[in-house]
Structure 1
Amino acid sequence: MNNSFKLFDPMKDCESILPDLPGNYFIVLRPTSQLAPIKVTPEFHYIDYNNNHYPIIYTGISNISIRKRDYHQHFIGNNAGRSTLRKSIGSLMGFSKIPRDKNNSDNGKTKFNENDEETLSQWMRENLLLFYSVENRKKEQIETLEQEFINDYNPPLNILGNKNSVNKEYRALLKTLRNKTNFNK
């Protein structure tokens, strides 16, 4: 990882330090944290930063705003329906999904119940860190970098576009968990 990435700690840092600009990001586990265990154990690549070794669990992009995409959609609120990261972690934690739209419950869009969303937000703030970069890039460059990061770092929670044979079984099981809802058991 190059030096353009900066660290954001959701337990200590104020969201206002995150740029309201497009960019790339990595979500990593704190050194003492772990994902909820399932039948398959993922393999990690790591980011070394200030003498710490951080397992990379996810990489993504924001075409508009790191602050809005990363902080607002991933770390706070009732957003499992809009954040693939939240949906994956909540599914690993065994939370049941419910229809996101009460008026159209058959559209396949889901979220977690309010208590689970709160628990998930707290867990994410306590166990995850964000590395972000907002170097001046065009949308195509940001997307190209995301695919390069998926290819190079093989984050276990990146399902889409991840064709790496390592963690293939883990991603398949995660996908099954993500697709399971309490109304289609």
Structure 2
Amino acid sequence: MSAPGSPPPARQDRRKERTRAALIAAAQHLLAEGADAHASIQAITELADVGFGSFYNYFSSKEELFEAAASAAVDDYLRWLAERLPDGVDPVTRLIENVRQTGRLALEQPRIAAILTRRLALLDDGDDPRGRSIRADVRAAMTAGGAVPETLEFDILATVALGAIMAVLRRTISLSPAETAEAADVLAHAVLRLLSLPSAGSAR
């Protein structure tokens, strides 16, 4: 039972969620600006508009906060991407759409794109379920294109394909909207040629 005059538990939970979300948003702003290295906890809490003492109720250090903020950006990216990838398509089409849509991330979600360009290793972490999911899409497309799994060449090409997706992010972050859309399409078809994959829709 709540103490007299204290907020109901549900209200307390919502307030805690808002405070944590505000800290994450502030950290993401700093990450996107490349200002995380020198940001103090005081500066973070001021940007989040929360009390300094509240910080340690959620995170033990600013490093832990920035890791959580970067991880949340990856989740947001994958959620955004999933909403745009067609269902029931062949693996090659899925991979190419993955590249094309990623190239447009900077247009629709510039903060997430900026964070990912600085934390690209998060997309290629084979020990993380999200990294394994991205690799699974690449491997499925390559298998559909006739590559032989579990060979050194296969593993190298999978890494190259992931590098191409990351290159899309780096290349488009500083382009105009028209240039971004064009670059995303060009890079998507370049991945096909790089991996010797058939045109989307014609995988065997």
Which has the greater radius of gyration?
Answer: 2
Q: Indicate the structure with greater helix content.
A: 2
Of structures 1 and 2, the one with the larger relative CO (CA 8 A, separation 6+) is 1
Q: Indicate the structure with greater strand content.
A: 1
